[in-house]
Amino acid sequence: MKLKGKRAIVTGGIRGIGKAILMDLVKNGCDVVFTYIITPYSDENTARELENEIMQQGVRAFSILADATSLADAEKTANFALEKLGGIDILVNNAGITKDNLLLRMTEEDFDKVINVNLKSVFNYTKAVVRPMMNQRYGKIINIASVVGLIGNPGQANYVASKAGVIGFTKATAKEFASRNINVNAVAPGFISTEMTSALNDKQKDAILSVVPIKRMGTAEDIAGVVSFLASPEADYITGQVISVDGGMAM
């Protein structure tokens, strides 16, 4: 329970890597606010069910419908967390999407959408929480980037640009906030087994694993454990870093 009594916001926390991060923070004693949007896979009922599941573990949990691309919604989420939890100690910027295509076929709309969801959201939520963190002179901000933000990937110019931007944003804000005892780090997942990758055929999976030295995909829990470490007192002297969780892919 290394995070007992700490209070966290997780964006996009209702499924996939976001949910795994949320549940690992909860396992370590953290009270949480998590955001969601309406999709075929998530709605208010899904969010309420997850709240109830978490509260059975003895911590507080609150969901909020919020668009990660909106600064107003980010500020609404921060104020909601301050009201419900009494403070914000941890922010996990996890919200993200993909709209892959070769550059010649990529639309301006798809480029802008990925940049807004994956990168502008990190600006929005960081800006929304940093003043309360400065006032308490404590905070941990963990941004979910991607290994492709370090090495590139064809067919993902929008996604790669957004995640490379997250890495740069992490380093800039780590330097800005260090004197206020706020740590900012990024986690860069490699190929992670999710609902999206489960749709790949064997040939596609083999092609992916051929560039992963460990020869398996990672799990959402692999990412979650690193996030909880960075959120913990054990990582108090770590800031401005990008930790790749990729089975050796980018070394």
Residues designated as active site: 159
Q: Residue 155: left if φ>0, alpha if ψ -120 to 50, beta else—which one?
A: left
- As a whole number of angstroms, the distance between CA 200 and CA 213 comes to 20
Angle at 191 between CA 190 and CA 195, to 5 degrees: 135
Alpha helices in 28-120 (DSSP H): 44-55, 71-85, 108-115
Q: 68 — phi, psi (to 5°)?
A: -65, -20
Which run of H or of E encompasses 10? strand 7-10
- As a whole number of angstroms, the distance between CA 161 and CA 220 comes to 23
CB atoms within 10 A of CB 170: 25
Q: Residue 12: left if φ>0, alpha if ψ -120 to 50, beta else—which one?
A: left
